[in-house]
Amino acid sequence: MKEIVLPTELSHEIAEIYKVMQEEYEQVAERITLSCLDCSDNCCDSWFLHYTYCEWAYLWEGIRRLDNETLDLIVEQAKEYVREAERISSTGKRPQLMCPLNKDGLCVLYKHRMLICRMHGTPATLTRPDGQNMRFPGCFRCQEITGERYEQDSTAPAMDRTTIFRRLAALESRLMGERRHIYPKVKKTIAEMIVQGPPAVQTPHCER
């Protein structure tokens, strides 16, 4: 197995994608007057799945900067998360468990948190590759605010995720190269990405 490591250029680019997304998020949140301050919920217990090797590798850039004591604790919490998620899933229910990176209500890898984690909250739209348009209402607090201020959900301000996802997909293609299609697709929780270690793929055999 060969570990997938982000070249410096791509690491900087994914950070820029996150930065642009954060700016757009904040603009929409300001228009809606949405804030996480004093929220009774914590979105870190939401069931998020992540789909790219590049984000997985970027997450591990942050993990490697943790001190050994913190890392050991996070790994143990991630293992427990995976075990409990499997148990709950086996009953046909969706797990709702606190992310192993959460400490006292905050993410210990805040600068390296993943795209879906950053997007959660405001309403959003997305145009899929097949042309289908999708709309997401936002978190429960956001829905309470928009429900009071707008007659229809569709008239509330929303962040367009399309360009962000296209940029991330293009970055993924550059990282994985022409053989991207032969590698297993990523569909994992953060806990699974921690337990399994940095992303790695089977190196292809040399053709004779």
Nearest to 169 by CA among 60, 52, 58: 52
Q: For the full predicted model, state whether its pTM sits above 0.75.
A: yes
- Give the rounded percent of residues in the chain with a pLDDT score beyond 70: 98
Nearest to 195 by CA among 55, 93, 72, 43: 72
Measured CA to CA, the distance from residue 134 to residue 124 in angstroms comes to 8
Nearest to 16 by CA among 190, 186, 164: 164
Q: Which residues contact 16 (CB under 8 A, 6 or more apart)?
A: none
Mean pLDDT (whole number) for 182-206? 88
Block residue for tokens 């991330």: 168
Mean pLDDT (whole number) for 58-72? 96
| pLDDT at 152 > cutoff 50 | yes
pLDDT of 181 reads 84
Q: Which amino acid is at 191?
A: A
Are 171 and 54 a contacting pair, CB within 8 Å?
yes
Nearest to 61 by CA among 10, 23, 97, 98: 10
Confidence band (pLDDT; 50, 70, 90) for 202? confident
From residue 200, alpha-carbon distances to 29, 54, 187 in Å are: 37, 11, 14
- Give the rounded percent of residues in the chain with a pLDDT score beyond 90: 78
pLDDT of 205 reads 55
Mean pLDDT (whole number) for 14-26? 95
Q: Which amino acid is at 173?
A: S
Q: Which residues contact 72 (CB under 8 A, 6 or more apart)?
A: none
Are 95 and 84 a contacting pair, CB within 8 Å?
yes
Confidence band (pLDDT; 50, 70, 90) for 204? low
Q: Which two tokens stand for residue 22?
A: 């954060």
pLDDT of 206 reads 46
